[in-house]
Amino acid sequence: MSERLLFPFPAPPAAGEAIEVAPGIRWIRMPLPFALDHINLWLVGEGDGVALVDCGYGDAPTRQLWSQHFGTTLRGRAPARLVVTHYHPDHLGNAAWLAAHFGLPVYMSAAEFLTAHAVRDGLAGHALADTCALFRAHGVEADHVAALEARGNNYRRGVPELPQSFRRLLPGSTQKLGGCDFSVLAGYGHSPEHAALHCADRRALISGDMLLPRISTNISIWPVEPDADALARFLDSLAAFEALPDDTLVLPSHGLPFRGIRARVHALRAHHRARLAELVAAVEDSGGSATAADVVPVLFRRELDLQQRFFAIGEAIAHLNHLAASGRLVRETSADGRIRFALPPKPRPS
């Protein structure tokens, strides 16, 4: 259904420039140092009342671009607040730096704030050793795990420091940004409590990573919650977005702004239905049992770098957990801790 999406802006803003996409909402773009090479950031409001929504990866190139925007896009005026949709480094990486530079309050959901600190400090099931153990259990080869271990805590590279306090975004609450009321829409599955922002008056949705126009949102399983059905949480979350007016301008974190929410939600649901069916078929073809590592090539039919493999195995586990939760597969753990997913036993004839 992607052909039903409308893209009113054919190209992104150039580095250091801004495009107005709706009254009082401007679009800037920052680089990322991996395959997904950009993130869209949003400035809401004018003059002394500008709110920043997300802030980019915490590295020197991004901060140099921000410094340009301070004098041009912001015209030397300090923004009023920073809103962070979720804890991932490309969204939160410069939050502490911007907050210190301007004396900004940082707004985000409690689950995202606390998860950021746990991941950065390797606490409560968020340590690299926990992730490596999870991936080993799901059949990841030893050399791939070793490469992940050698990389260390990659989150710290993108988030050099974190805010020590925040102002809480609650699902269903309203935030006034740039003179407009934005409703907070919670999203689950991609991160613990992702906060998207919808302004009915301007018919605009800052969707973060919950709705992307061309790629599917990554849904992964992590050791802190290894048996979760994160895919069900994500798919259930889409209902709130699907209910918005279809002419809403969606402002995603990656890709171009678009209209056609319902078409995109339908396409995402169809995408995951197809992937789930393919996984069941792959398990059957493998002799009736497979690990998450075995089925990664079913979901990702291309060569993957280390960063992409990291997310690919998490996404494979998420899809297999969903199939197990729905009874289409059975999760089995051997005596050595290896986790496999098998076809359920066929019922005996009566």
* Contacts made by residues 113-118, CB under 8 angstroms, sequence distance 24+: 113/87, 113/163, 113/166, 113/168, 115/87, 115/191, 115/192, 116/87, 116/92, 116/159, 116/162, 117/162, 118/224
Place of tokens 């005026």: 77
Length of the chain: 350
**pTM for this model (two decimals):** 0.95
The tens digit of pLDDT for each residue in 25-37 reads: 999 999 999 889 9
Question: Phi, psi at residue 245, to the nearest 5°?
Answer: -55, 140
Examine the pLDDT at 98 and tell me if it is beyond 90. yes
Examine the pLDDT at 314 and tell me if it is beyond 50. yes
As a whole number, mean pLDDT of residues 128-141 equals 96
Give the pLDDT confidence score for residue 1 in this predicted structure.
Answer: 38
Place of tokens 């798919």: 235
The tens digit of pLDDT for each residue in 151-200 reads: 999 999 999 999 999 999 999 999 999 889 999 999 999 999 999 999 99
Provide the percentage of residues in the chain whose pLDDT is more than 90. 91
SS (H, E, C) 4-45: HCECCCCCCCCCCCCEEEECCEEEEEEECCCCCCEEEEEEEC
Please provide the average confidence, as pLDDT, over all residues in the chain: 95
The tens digit of pLDDT for each residue in 318-350 reads: 999 999 999 999 999 999 999 999 999 887 776
**Could you say which DSSP state residue 3 is in?**
G
**Per-position b or e across 251-261, b if 16+ CB within 10 A of its CB:** bbbbbbbbbbb
